[in-house]
Amino acid sequence: MKKHTRYIPAFHFHWLTRWYDPMMRYFFPETGIKAALIAQAGIQPGQTVLDAGCGTGTLTLLIKRTEPGAAVYGLDMDFQALNIARAKAGKEREIVALQLGSAACLPYADASFDRVFASLMLHHLTRQDKQHMLREAFRVLKPGGELHVADFGAPHDAAMWLVSCVMRWFEEIHDHILGLLPVFMADAGFDPVRETARYRTIVGPVSLYCASKPGRNDATE
């Protein structure tokens, strides 16, 4: 049965998608967060990498530029955002595989990827679809592979708590505010799950996570 995922487009409305990149550059420390996310993944030449929910392709292309020897895939269910990503890839002459599809029902075989990324994507999904996405990421990762996530996290001070309480009316971030993302990752089978960094932004607290799929030796111990 085909799964229909409900998601919130960039900035909540499709007509705002074309403004996503310039607004993110102006109001959000996107470059630093994405660079840190890639750095913690330690991508090697010959590895296969998926950017799930790639949106306009900023992270996808940065991964490819950082490690040209990796095979990089990007997947998103927003055709408008994906068209922007394709235009950017063509302009930069970067070879990445961009595909229309749902992160909650990944169109890839088991154990296909060494790294899976989810950058500022999970808060667009309902709780059920977040859980589906994390189980799918676990499925398509090779044993010993890693999931790297950047998304809204639990606030650690009063100012971030207030911002998060406002944002929860616009996005599916209530679970994030409660600090449930690492719990969902662990429930999907990832072990260990680590919060690696925290950022204070004008739209709320953002956390980076690294979640590992146990290797074959780990599974038999």
Total Cβ atoms within 10 A of residue 149: 27
What's the pTM value of the predicted model, to 2 decimals?
A: 0.84
Highest mean pLDDT: which of 6-20, 26-40, 112-126, 171-185?
A: 112-126
Give the H or E element holding residue 164.
Answer: helix 158-167
Which amino acid is located at 112 in the chain?
S
Residue 116 and residue 141 in contact, taking contact as beta carbons nearer than 8 Å: yes
94 DSSP β-pair partners: none
Residue 3 and residue 104 in contact, taking contact as beta carbons nearer than 8 Å: yes
Rounded to the nearest 10°, the torsion over CA 22, 164, 146, 27 is: 20
Domain boundaries, the chain: 10-220
pLDDT digits (tens, 9 = 90+) for 146-197: 999 999 888 776 556 565 665 554 557 888 888 899 999 999 999 999 999 9
What is the reported pLDDT for 216? 72
User: Quick one: tokens of 177?
Assistant: 């505010």
User: Quick one: tokens of 34?
Assistant: 């994405």
**Rounded-to-integer distance, Cα 15 and Cα 82, Å:** 14
What is the reported pLDDT for 173? 80
CATH of 10-220, one of 3.40.50.2000, 3.30.1490.20, 3.40.50.150, 3.40.50.1240: 3.40.50.150
Q: In 30-157, which ranges are continuous DSSP H helix? A: 30-41, 58-66, 79-92, 127-140
User: Quick one: tokens of 64?
Assistant: 């490819």
Averaged pLDDT for residues 86-104: 93
Residue 70: closest CA among 116, 119, 33: 116
